[in-house]
Amino acid sequence: LAKTTQPISMDSYEGQEVNITCSHNNIATNDYITWYQQFPSQGPRFIIQGYKTKVTNEVASLFIPADRKSSTLSLPRVSLSDTAVYYCLVGAAASGGSYIPTFGRGTSLIVHP
């Protein structure tokens, strides 16, 4: 069961790039890394998922080094509406392994004007 560690909080300003790193030293071979965003009193929202190297979509990029023991979520040019809690999860894809999606403490990002 891969455990994740993230900074508890981060502060940024509008227009800046924000990088949030998650450590998962015990990640298993068939584990994927998924990042979620959560606003108060709402369910988490999927941001991005990856296995290795770099993944990019319309809202974020995910960087995963070769040893996969950490991952970095990159949010380009944040705005006030990006103020939220960000969680990284590691777990097996449906094709193999058990999947117990356990959340860590998450990173509370505050974007200032």
* Smallest gap from residue 43 Cβ to another protein (A): 4
Are β-strands 9-13 and 107-112 bridged in parallel, bridged antiparallel, or unpaired?
parallel
- Does residue number 63 form part of the binding site for another protein (CB under 8 A)? no
Of 49, 61, 72, 83, the residue at the interface with another protein (CB under 8 A) is: 49
Of 3, 77, 105, 112, the residue at the interface with another protein (CB under 8 A) is: 105
* Smallest gap from residue 5 Cβ to another protein (A): 12
Are β-strands 53-56 and 61-64 bridged in parallel, bridged antiparallel, or unpaired?
antiparallel
